[in-house]
Amino acid sequence: MPSIAGASVPGVQLNKVQSPTVAVLLPCYNEEAAIAATIAGFRAALPGSTIYVYDNNSSDRTREVAAKAGAIVRSERQQGKGHVVRRMFADVDADVYVMADGDLTYDPKSAPAMVDLLLAEQLDMVVGTRRHEEKDAYRRGHAMGNQLFTGLLAGLFGRSFSDIFSGYRVFSRRFVKSFPVLSSGFEIETEISVHALELRMPVGEVETAYAARPEGSQSKLSTWSDGWRILKTIVTLYRIERPVLFYGGIGAILLALAVVLAVPLVATYLQTGLVPRFPTAILVTGIIIVAVLCFFSGLILDTVTRGRREVRRLYYLSLAAPQ
């Protein structure tokens, strides 16, 4: 009879509980000044993890410094953070993924708590919400933009996160492998947030310190151009994921415009029995037709969207939960 006290029994193989594999993913572009300290911080915080640095056409010594610091260094030639994230998620296989920037602004000491929360509650994503303690860590325009877009996302999709633009996140394997990365630039964080919201994934948040960049490291984020791209991404995702509301809203606006234009025509017709402005009447008819087409387009696309969402959800459910 096999012993349960830990002794080995011939012919009986005891199951060993394996710790989940953790991969730290660091997308980088010209981070020679900060990447070594970032790698050292995550190695100390997550000693059993494998650290990957994905270089995005850096013109400085980012690759050499990262390799010397002990990271696995790979390259992505297509410029833009979205392209880098797509490559990282496709190439790296692990149970838990920790993604952060290579500029030492995110606190590696918060990573264990984020990983523990993901595993303890079997979540699919934990967002590191930024607490900027230094005056230069977070520009006022970026803080205002973050609040604005966070509120917009909550209004359009029903719920949101405290910090939708945080680049510090921990993912489960089933999140990473079910996420079809479509963005090319800094709007990738918005797409990640919407993906979690649309599939109703269990998510969590952990507050983490956010520091200023070290000397020699410069931000690659452009307030206005990247803000415009993020706004277009939110509108595009809303059009794709909420076609009834998007096209129905356009149809409602057109219908209201048609009513405003038609009121004087109807009043004149009731008084005189004549329609004196035929061009306006024809315009009203055309606007109503387009409004009706918008309503039906929204209904048809909603059926397509539901089918596509079901396929994504089924694939997501086919992968094991983090444990």
Cα 6 to Cα 118: distance, rounded to the nearest angstrom = 30
Give the contacts of 192 (CB within 8 A, at least 6 positions apart): 125, 169, 179
* Least confident window among 74-83, 159-168, 214-223: 214-223
Helix (H) or strand (E) holding 313: helix 278-318
Q: Which domain holds residue 308?
A: 243-318
147 within domain boundaries: yes
285 within domain boundaries: yes
1 within domain boundaries: no
Q: Are 141 and 283 in contact (CB under 8 A)?
A: no
**In CATH, what number is assigned to the domain containing residue 28?**
3.90.550.10
**Greater confidence, 12 or 119?**
119
Mean pLDDT rounded to a whole number for the chain: 85
225 within domain boundaries: yes
Are residues 276 and 147 part of one domain? no
Are residues 223 and 252 part of one domain? no
Cα 89 to Cα 191: distance, rounded to the nearest angstrom = 14
Q: Note the pLDDT of residue 304.
A: 92
pLDDT digits (tens, 9 = 90+) for 59-73: 999 999 999 999 999
| DSSP secondary structure letters along 4-30 | SSS--BTTB----PPPPPEEEEEEESS
Measured on CA atoms in the order 57, 63, 65, 70, is the torsion positive or negative? positive
Q: Are 172 and 96 in contact (CB under 8 A)?
A: yes
Are residues 211 and 90 part of one domain? yes
